[in-house]
A = this chain, B = another copy of it.
Amino acid sequence: MQTHIDLNCDLGESFGPWKMGNDAGVIPFVSSINIACGFHAGDSRTMQQTLILAKLHGMRGLAIGAHTGLPDLRGFGRRELALDAQDLYCDTLYQLGALAALAKAAGLTIRHIKPHGALYHMLEQQPKLAHSFVSAAKDFSPTLQIYGLAQGKLLSCAAGLGMPVKHEIFADRRYLPNGGLVPRGQPGAVIEDANIAAAQVMQVLQHGKLTALDGAELALAADTVCIHGDRADAAEFAAALHTQLCASGVRIGAGT
Question: Given the complex of chains A and B, what is the CA–CA distance between A17 and B73 in angstroms?
Answer: 8
**Interchain CB contact under 8 A, A105 and B18:** no
Chain B nearest CB from A232 CB (Å) reads 11
**Interchain CB contact under 8 A, B97 and A100:** yes
Q: What residues on B are CB-neighbors of A215 within 8 Å? A: none
The total of chain A residues at the interface (CB under 8 A) is 48
**Interchain CB contact under 8 A, A76 and B44:** no
Cβ of A102 within 8 Å of any chain B Cβ, yes or no, is yes
**Interchain CB contact under 8 A, A74 and B20:** no
Q: What residues on B are CB-neighbors of A104 within 8 Å? A: 97, 139-140
Cβ of A1 within 8 Å of any chain B Cβ, yes or no, is no
A interface residue numbers (CB < 8 A to B): 14-20, 38, 41, 43-45, 47-48, 71-76, 79-84, 86-87, 89-91, 93-102, 104-105, 118, 136, 139-140, 230
Closest 10 pairs between A and B when the two form their complex, measured CB to CB? A97-B101, A18-B18, A44-B90, A105-B139, A16-B74, A44-B94, A80-B82, A17-B76, A97-B97, A94-B98
